[in-house]
Amino acid sequence: MTGKKKMSIDCFHCMSRKQSLMGTLKDEELACMNEHKSSVNYKKGQTLFYEGTRPMGLFCINGGKVKVFKMGSQGKEQIIRLAKPGEFLGYRALLGEEFYAASATVIEDANICFIPKFDFLEILNRNPNFYKNIVQSICHELGVLEDRFSDLAQKSVRERLAANLLMLKESYGMEGDDSTLIDIALSREDLANIVGTATETVIRLLSEFKKDGLILFEGKRIRVLDAKALAKEADFYA
Amino acid sequence: MTGKKKMSIDCFHCMSRKQSLMGTLKDEELACMNEHKSSVNYKKGQTLFYEGTRPMGLFCINGGKVKVFKMGSQGKEQIIRLAKPGEFLGYRALLGEEFYAASATVIEDANICFIPKFDFLEILNRNPNFYKNIVQSICHELGVLEDRFSDLAQKSVRERLAANLLMLKESYGMEGDDSTLIDIALSREDLANIVGTATETVIRLLSEFKKDGLILFEGKRIRVLDAKALAKEADFYA
DNA sequence: TATAAAAACTGATTTTTATCATATTTTAAT
DNA sequence: ATTAAAATATGATAAAAATCAGTTTTTATA
């Protein structure tokens, strides 16, 4: 359980950069970011930051997967969102000048860059377009969360599970040919903490969906066989 | 059901301005806003904007109260937030360059200003501090919604109702002496649509809280008699 | 002010979902 | 390879909350 090790990857050659918000950065800013960033390897289970602590900088996922969650009073996690390569973590707290509202831990071994707060804000100030993109992304996230909030209040567990499987397929479906395989290793418990239900309930519903031919298990991964039927289960276009 | 009427209030003398995000605006920008804004009186039940439509500008509440909600597939509203004088509406969609994710309708007769998109963005561009404040506010809102999302997933209806009553007391408690009276006329149905439950359930729980001496009904309003006990019901500091 | 409509309320019942108990399978560690 | 621990699975039961049905009260309107 050690795992943290410096890497010598630079922002110019970072594969995840292109599909990230940093796509718009000019060479100069990228150089600045590159100069001040540090890159660390994390093992599954390691924590990037804890709810209630002060943000010191921005995390940028280069490889691997991370869950962002709040701990409920009964010790049950509520997963707010998942993050994958190309995504930032911690900018909401930075720009809002608040403590972290949630914790972030690695669910698949990851390589993650860290840009100190000062340097990040500096780059933001120098690049109005980059700033605008970040703001736009936060606004979008707020809209998405409003949707999910509404669903959580109004849909049944079964509907929410179906809806979340479809969302996961969108986010983690593999490129091209294998777009039906959800390429993220979530435990049943994590899935329950996304959907907002008990682990046993997720297990039961998953096996129903499987029995009905909507999904299939492939190791730790789930394959969506019938997205149409799942959408119906999710009460989409109702 | 007519009710829309132009008013000749100006931004300089607007009472709700001081406690709003516009507090930081300079005279020049305020003049710009004043010049381009229009002020309209709305009656209870009238709608400011509809989910799925394109935002044309910013709403600024001068007087009255507004609910922002999404319509679920069973025709049940989920109230995302309430807005009171001094607050803006519609900036998330404007800055995110998206359609409205929710609808907004008046729940207490209101006077609301409207600033066209172009003028609002212009003022934002000219005033980095104002822009920064707005962004900060959006970030804060996202954090608050994450909290509520987590509570919705993990707390019982009883706990959520208690928590929401306390929140409403914070937001709508009157100044000074009468801080225990929640000064907003919410129907039982609206309250249910905030908490995320059935109207009957809210009615039952409210009358329990009343029987136990935690709250009191005063006309259409609720008075919080024992905030400590309510906080315990809400599972705060658990 | 009479009357209709809407909102608030109450009780009975059903449905959904969580919880508890326990078994089986998988994964990790010695 | 063996054993312990964790994750997954299944059944039985209990609890929470929704739904349905009906009544009373309040509010709005002719």
Distance CA B55, CA B65 (A): 20
Work out the angle at residue B148's Cα, subtended by the Cα atoms of residues B144 and B152, and round it to the nearest 5 degrees. Answer: 170
Does B3 have pLDDT greater than 50?
Answer: no
The listed range with the strongest mean pLDDT (A25-29, A141-145, B9-13, B233-237) is A141-145
Average pLDDT over residues B41-62: 95
How is residue B192 written in tokens? Answer: 């249910």
B158, B186, B181: which is closest to B65 by C-alpha? B186
How is residue B160 written in tokens? Answer: 């959520």
Does A197 have pLDDT greater than 80?
Answer: yes
Measured CA B220 to C1' C5 distance, in angstroms: 19
Does A6 have pLDDT greater than 90?
Answer: no
Question: B145 and A142: CB-CB below 8 Å?
Answer: yes
- CA–CA min distance B157, chain A (Å): 11
Q: Which of B136, B145, B155 sits opposite A96 (nearest CB)?
A: B136
Phi/psi of residue B93, each to 5°? -65, -40
Give percent above pLDDT 70 in chain B: 95
In angstroms, how far is CA B145 from the centroid of its own chain?
Answer: 13
- Say whether the CB atom of B217 is under 7 angstroms from strand C: yes
Domain ranges of chain B: 5-152, 156-233
- Say whether the CB atom of A198 is under 7 angstroms from strand C: yes
Measured CA A152 to C1' D15 distance, in angstroms: 20
Residue A238: the pLDDT is 56
Distance CA B173, CA B178 (A): 7
- Protein chain B, residues 186-215, with a C-beta closer than 7 Å to any atom of nucleic acid strand D: 196-198, 200-201
Instruction: Quote the crossing angle between the two packed helices A199-211 and A188-195, to the nearest 10°.
Output: 100
Nearest nucleotide by C1' from B76 CA?
Answer: D18
Average pLDDT over residues B116-128: 93
Residue B6: the pLDDT is 45
- Say whether the CB atom of A220 is under 7 angstroms from strand C: yes
- The reported pTM is 0.94
CB atoms within 10 A of CB A28: 11
Beta-carbon contacts of residue A235 (< 8 Å; ≥ 6 apart): A155, A159, A163, B73
Q: Which of A101, A138, A147 sits opposite B146 (nearest CB)?
A: A101
pLDDT tens digits, residue range A61-97?
A: 999 999 999 999 999 999 999 999 999 999 999 999 9
Return the minimum-mean-pLDDT range out of A106-110, A128-132, B93-97, B181-185: A128-132
Residue B47: the pLDDT is 95
Instruction: Quote the crossing angle between the two packed helices A128-154 and B128-154, to the nearest 10°.
Output: 20
Nearest nucleotide by C1' from B187 CA?
Answer: C7
CB B92 within 8 A of CB B49: no
How is residue A18 written in tokens? Answer: 């292109």
| CATH class as words, domain B156-233 | mainly alpha
Q: Is B163 helix (H, G, I), strand (E, B) or coil?
A: helix
Question: B80 and A150: CB-CB below 8 Å?
Answer: yes
Q: Hey, what CATH topology would domain A5-152 get?
A: Jelly Rolls (2.60.120)
B18 vs B14: which has the higher pLDDT? B14
Confidence band, pLDDT 50/70/90 cuts, at residue B5: very low
pLDDT tens digits, residue range A24-48?
A: 777 887 888 888 889 999 999 999 9
First to last CA, chain B: 48
Residue A208 vs residues A98, A161, A204, A205: alpha-carbon distances, Å: 43, 12, 6, 5
CB B137 within 8 A of CB B209: no
Q: Which residues in B lie closer than 8 A to residue A235 (C-beta atoms)?
A: 73
Distance CA A199, CA A188 (A): 6
- Say whether the CB atom of A207 is under 7 angstroms from strand D: yes
Residue B105's DSSP bridge partners are B47, B67
- Say whether the CB atom of A156 is under 7 angstroms from strand C: yes
Nearest nucleotide by C1' from A198 CA?
Answer: C18
- Protein chain A, residues 58-117, with a C-beta closer than 7 Å to any atom of nucleic acid strand C: 74
B1 vs A204: which has the higher pLDDT? A204
pLDDT tens digits, residue range B156-166?
A: 999 999 999 99
- Say whether the CB atom of B185 is under 7 angstroms from strand D: no
Residue B46: the pLDDT is 94
- CA–CA min distance A108, chain B (Å): 23
- Say whether the CB atom of A201 is under 7 angstroms from strand D: no
Does A177 have pLDDT greater than 90?
Answer: no
Average pLDDT over residues B64-88: 96
Residue of chain B with shortest Cα separation from A160: B153
Residue A8 vs residues A5, A40, A111, B107, B128: alpha-carbon distances, Å: 10, 9, 11, 58, 36
Distance CA B75, CA B72 (A): 5
Does B1 have pLDDT greater than 60?
Answer: no
